[in-house]
Each structure stands twice: as C-alpha cells, then as structure tokens.
C-alpha cells in the first residue's frame, strides 16, 4: 500500500476533517482515505448508488428531480402551496 504527504492544507480543512473523523470513529488518516476512496469510486459504483436511490424514491413515492432550474422552481411552488404560513 502506498503513502503520500499533503502539504499546506488550510487549518479549516484540518478542523473539519478532524470533526468528521470523530463522528465516524476514525483517525484523521483513515477518514482522509475514506473520503478519497469514495470520491474516486468507479463509475459503476455510482451507477449502482443512483439505481438504488431511484428505487427507494419510487418505493417511498418521492419525486425524482433533475438538475434544471425548472424542476427547482416547480418543487418550490409545490412546497409553498401546501404551507400557507410561507410568504
């Protein structure tokens, strides 16, 4: 297994990494490895995740949204129609 050194990491990033490591019960190094592994996962892993989340949304009757502004605008309108306390 290889190793690497990363220099000049901003203090804020280190702080957030330490917080995340504490919540997962990992060391800073283990958490950084987990983050790298997740972000560099093969596309097939992400496709499997997308399929599983789509199936869950369908099972729960949740709407699937795209990335378009139209979808976001429509979702806001639907949300505020049912809530008369919103302006």
- pLDDT tens figures, 10-52: 999 999 999 999 999 999 999 999 999 888 877 777 788 888 8
Other C-beta atoms lying within 10 Å of the C-beta of residue 42 = 8
Q: What percent of the chain has pLDDT over 70?
A: 87
Quote the pTM value: 0.50
Task: Indicate if 24 and 47 belong to the same structural domain.
Answer: no
Task: Indicate if 1 and 34 belong to the same structural domain.
Answer: yes
Task: Indicate if 25 and 56 belong to the same structural domain.
Answer: no
Give the pair of three-digit tokens for residue 53: 């989340």
Task: Indicate if 25 and 55 belong to the same structural domain.
Answer: no
Other C-beta atoms lying within 10 Å of the C-beta of residue 82 = 7
Task: Indicate if 58 and 18 belong to the same structural domain.
Answer: no
Task: Indicate if 34 and 52 belong to the same structural domain.
Answer: no
Rounded CA separation 35/52 (Å): 21
pLDDT at 55: 86
Q: How far is CA 43 from the centre of its chain?
A: 16
Task: Indicate if 70 and 81 belong to the same structural domain.
Answer: yes
Task: Indicate if 33 and 55 belong to the same structural domain.
Answer: no
Range of the domain at 76: 43-87
Number of domains into which the chain is organized: 2
The answer to whether 80 and 86 are in contact (CB under 8 A) is yes
In the predicted model, what is the mean pLDDT of the chain? 83
């Amino acid at each position: 297994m290889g190793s690497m050194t990363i220099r000049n990491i901003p203090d804020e990033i280190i702080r957030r990494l330490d917080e995340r490591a504490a919540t997962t019960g990992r060391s800073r190094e283990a958490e950084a490895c987990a983050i790298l592994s997740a972000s560099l996962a093969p596309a097939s892993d992400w496709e499997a995740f997308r399929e599983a989340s789509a199936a869950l949304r369908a099972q729960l009757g949740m709407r699937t949204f795209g990335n378009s502004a139209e979808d976001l605008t429509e979702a806001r309108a639907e949300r505020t129609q049912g809530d008369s306390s919103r302006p």
